[in-house]
Amino acid sequence: MQTLLSHHWHHLPTGEVLDLLETDAQQGLDIFEISHRQQRFGPNALTPRKRKSALLRFLEQFNNPLIYILLIASIVTAVVKGPVDAAIVVGAVLVNTVIGYLQESRAEEAIEALSQTMGAEATVLRSGETQRVDARDLVPGDMVLLQAGDKVPADLRLVRTRDLQVAEAALTGESVPVQKAADAPLPPDVVLAERRNMAYASTLVTYGQGSGVVVSTGDGTEIGRISELIASAQELQTPLTRNIAHFSHLLVYVILGLSALAFLIGVLRGQPALDMIITSIALAVATIPEGLPTAVTVTLAIGVSRMARRRAIIRRLPAVEALGSTTVICSDKTGTLTQNQMTVRQIVAGDLRYEVSGSGYDPAGEITHQGNTVALDARPALTECIRAGLLCNDSKLSREGELWQVQGDPTEGALVVSALNVFLEREETQQRLHSLPARALRVAASGHGDAPCLSSPP
């Protein structure tokens, strides 16, 4: 336990991992040891980034070259024309500032609310009993039980697996679920994406079952290290902010040049120098576009609102324009961007081929044959085929607002949706007696010439 974070956990045998963590795969930790480790390691949560104060976020809205020009213009206007005209310029600045502040504050609140809803529960083995606990209460050495649909609550060294697959796109970018196996240790220098005996926090179990021992929690997890890198990243200028800065500098040079030219022409024509100074200042103030910052801010705020209706949260207003300026998107491997959803399109049952309409996970389609809607009462083979796909299934379909989501493997989720398309509810009275992993079925099938060869879901 002294060098807990320095081990290559994927390289060590399971028994050595359990010995180092002073835990037992059959019993887990007892309540006294859990309390001690919670005090030592702290909660299993990422350290929240230090938020800027409301005053600082408000003052940051003035950090704009155009705003600097307007503030200078308001001072000059107060001297030359009086406080009324200066108040108009200041009012334009305040409108711009308030709009930007309110929009970014709303985004901060939405992100904070989102982070609070990401808290999950975990199934653990403690003192020989299975319990559901808050994932924040996990400590190194806890035995965690995993099944399809679970979110991995911490970094785990897998102890037992049964056809376990984990989607690690949030961590590695790999779009296809990874087959896991708690077998022989791996070389110490193997890359993270190939550590088949590990499961990492924030990834999702899509298929099978397994158990693992917690080796890292909170900021010590791989996702915690990524969070630290993001927090230390420097903020870059967007194309819009660069263009505004360039335009502001150009505008200053043009205004100063025109004012100097007007002053010079007036003096050469015999006008009093003091009058020409006042005239040049008035010309400079009149040339400044007071409404431009407000127009830009309002336009960006409208874009942020439209993105919010599409369930996208924009923290900084200029990011909207940066998205619109994107001309090339680079993606690896398949070269496509998908939603990781699958849909049943055709069903073959009783020598007949049926078409299934609908898209995604919305159970609003129907089943047809040669263009005619099918009545299940007259198609027993089709009914039993759909029922088999529904009952031999670990995925669950749920609705959040207007969106349907599947917890579990996308292939199994597609089978559930196809059953709900024809109003077949899962029969809860049907109790599963046992389940065999697809790998075992493949081995059994290979020994019998007439046995069907089954494959695991993609």
Q: Last residue of a domain, which of 195, 214, 229?
A: 229
Number of domains in the chain: 3
Structural domain range at position 215? 4-44+138-229
Same domain as 143, residue 40: yes
Same domain as 143, residue 17: yes
By annotation, the residues acting in catalysis are: 332
Same domain as 184, residue 289: no
Q: Highest mean pLDDT range out of 12-16, 98-102, 316-320, 437-441?
A: 12-16
Same domain as 253, residue 315: yes
Q: What is the CATH number of the domain that holds 153?
A: 2.70.150.10
Asked if 157 and 215 count as a contact pair (C-beta separation under 8 A), the reply is yes
Same domain as 270, residue 415: no
Domain assignment present for residue 129? The answer is: no
Q: What is the CATH number of the domain that holds 357?
A: 3.40.1110.10
Domain assignment present for residue 385? The answer is: yes
3-state secondary structure 285-331: HHHCCCHHHHHHHHHHHHHHHHHHHCCCCCCCCHHHHHHHCCCCCCC
Least confident of 111-115, 427-431, 444-448: 444-448
Same domain as 96, residue 152: no
Question: What distance, in Å, lies between the first and last C-alpha atoms of the chain?
Answer: 39
What is the pLDDT, as a whole number, of residue 233?
58
Asked if 437 and 385 count as a contact pair (C-beta separation under 8 A), the reply is no
Instruction: At 446, give phi and psi (nearest 5°).
Output: -70, -20
Residue 110's pLDDT band, with cuts at 50, 70 and 90, is low
Q: Which residue has the higher pLDDT, 444 or 349?
A: 349
Same domain as 10, residue 82: no
51: Cα separation from own chain's centroid? 20
pLDDT above 90 (res 396):
no
Same domain as 30, residue 145: yes
Q: Last residue of a domain, which of 202, 229, 256?
A: 229
Least confident of 201-210, 308-317, 405-414: 308-317
Same domain as 418, residue 361: yes
d(C-alpha 119, C-alpha 135), whole Å: 7
205-264 pLDDT, tens digit per residue, is: 988 889 999 999 988 888 888 777 766 656 667 777 788 778 878 888 888 888 889 889
CA atoms within 13 A on the CB side of 326: 8
Domain assignment present for residue 352? The answer is: yes
Domain assignment present for residue 332? The answer is: no
Same domain as 28, residue 145: yes
Asked if 249 and 67 count as a contact pair (C-beta separation under 8 A), the reply is no
Q: Which residue has the higher pLDDT, 368 or 451?
A: 368
Domain assignment present for residue 309? The answer is: yes
Average pLDDT, the chain: 78
Q: Last residue of a domain, which of 229, 257, 287?
A: 229
Q: What is the pTM of this model?
A: 0.57
Same domain as 419, residue 361: yes
170-194 pLDDT, tens digit per residue, is: 788 777 788 998 886 788 888 888 8
Same domain as 66, residue 196: no
Residue 215: CB partners within 8 Å, gap ≥ 6?
4, 7, 9, 17, 21, 140, 154, 155, 156, 157
